[in-house]
Amino acid sequence: MKIVKKYWFLIGLATVFAATMADPTGLLADAGLVLKRHHGPDVVIFLVFFFSGILLDPGQIRDGLRDVAGTAMALVLIFGFAPALAALASLAPLQTGVIIGLFLVSVMPTTLSSGVVMTGASGGNPAHALFITILANVLCMFTIPFTLPLLLQLTEISTQVDDFNRMAVMIKIGLYVLVPLCAGLGVKAMAFSRLAEVGPRFQIINQCLILCIVWMGVAQARPVLSGDLGGMVSMAGVVAIFHCVLLGCAYLMVRVFSVPRGRMEAVLFMGSQKTLPLSIILQVTLFGQFALALMVCVLHHLVSLLIDGFLVGRLSYRK
């Protein structure tokens, strides 16, 4: 029972994935698709950051903004180390679709939700993690059109990303991140004494919302994932190695620069996690003929959450 309580989020991730994939009726996947078509991810992301705003306080936010060194390290990992690792991976004898999937994953900014929750759950500063994710998602509009074509030069595939709608992404970040965050902070300011007692419950709600996002992602990718079980297992190994190496780089960086507990968690999680929705959008728009690329994006998201969920438990236990 103690193990279940400690790793319930990791168990939840595995259960959501297995149940959606193994359901012979397909009802779970169909329900996830229906929810996704009716703006389910938008509502869930909005609620995640609304509750994140309730959980934060202005003092934490100021502390997060002050950690310039931690922010710089995370950004170097996100936009420097990750694409470099993908470039190295392209030298391996992998299928073109797998390589393109790794390229897409590598140029992505950090995740909009789970990294912040995991940072807080492991004893880190969620405000700093939130600042990193907002900054990274703004910067990606300028980095992706530059980095992705450079990586594609390593393959026989060439495409244009000049039509990448930067303004639409900026507006989406504002509507789904900044607005609910400020709303949550406002609600907390008006009812601080009442919310202080139920704060931990909001943390659990946030984690459940993340499981909901994963469920919708698995539902969308189920036809592709179920079509090639052997290939899915091998690709899961590839993305697991990619994520573990990036995590290792992050850990080495915080050790070299002597980043203490309480600050290192944001660098670890935000520097290695990657957002899924944007990678799917680019895959469908630019590389629709490479179904394996979509599989890589989804598998990386799921595998990285499973690995990081285990890491959260270890860091929480040590703390």
- Supply the pLDDT for residue 103: 94
Distances (CA, A) of 95 to 51, 155, 235, 238, 292: 41, 11, 10, 12, 9
Q: Shortest CA distance to 237 belongs to which of 311, 307, 314?
A: 307
- Supply the pLDDT for residue 238: 92
- Supply the pLDDT for residue 140: 83
Q: What is the Cα 219 distance to its own chain's centre?
A: 17
Query: Within a domain: residue 84?
Result: yes
Query: Within a domain: residue 201?
Result: yes
Cβ neighbours of 65 (radius 10 Å)? 12
Distances (CA, A) of 237 to 99, 219, 306: 14, 21, 13
313 and 6 in contact (C-beta within 8 Å)? yes
Query: Within a domain: residue 15?
Result: no
Query: Within a domain: residue 186?
Result: yes
CATH number of the domain where residue 287 is located: 1.20.1530.20
Q: What is the dihedral of CA 40, 45, 51, 56, to 10 degrees?
A: 180
Distance (Å, rounded) from C-alpha 222 to C-alpha 50?
30
Query: Within a domain: residue 9?
Result: no
- Supply the pLDDT for residue 200: 62
- Supply the pLDDT for residue 51: 79
Q: Which domain holds residue 60?
A: 25-318
| Count of residues in the chain | 319
- Supply the pLDDT for residue 5: 65
Q: Shortest CA distance to 299 belongs to which of 46, 13, 30, 27?
A: 13
Distance (Å, rounded) from C-alpha 294 to C-alpha 282?
10
Query: Within a domain: residue 1?
Result: no
* Opening angle at CA 82, ends 244 and 125, nearest 5: 70
21: its two tokens: 């994939």
Q: Say whether pTM exceeds 0.85.
A: no
Query: Within a domain: residue 20?
Result: no
Query: Within a domain: residue 3?
Result: no
Cβ neighbours of 249 (radius 10 Å)? 18
User: What is the maximum alpha-carbon separation in the chain?
Assistant: 60
Q: Report the chain (319 residues): mean pLDDT per 10 consecutive residues.
A: 65 78 81 80 77 68 76 94 94 88 92 77 82 83 83 70 57 71 78 60 74 74 68 85 95 89 88 83 73 81 83 68
- Supply the pLDDT for residue 260: 84
Name the domain count of the chain.
Answer: 1
Helices (H), 158-191: 166-173, 179-190
- Supply the pLDDT for residue 172: 65
Q: Which residue has the tokens 């880190």?
A: 124
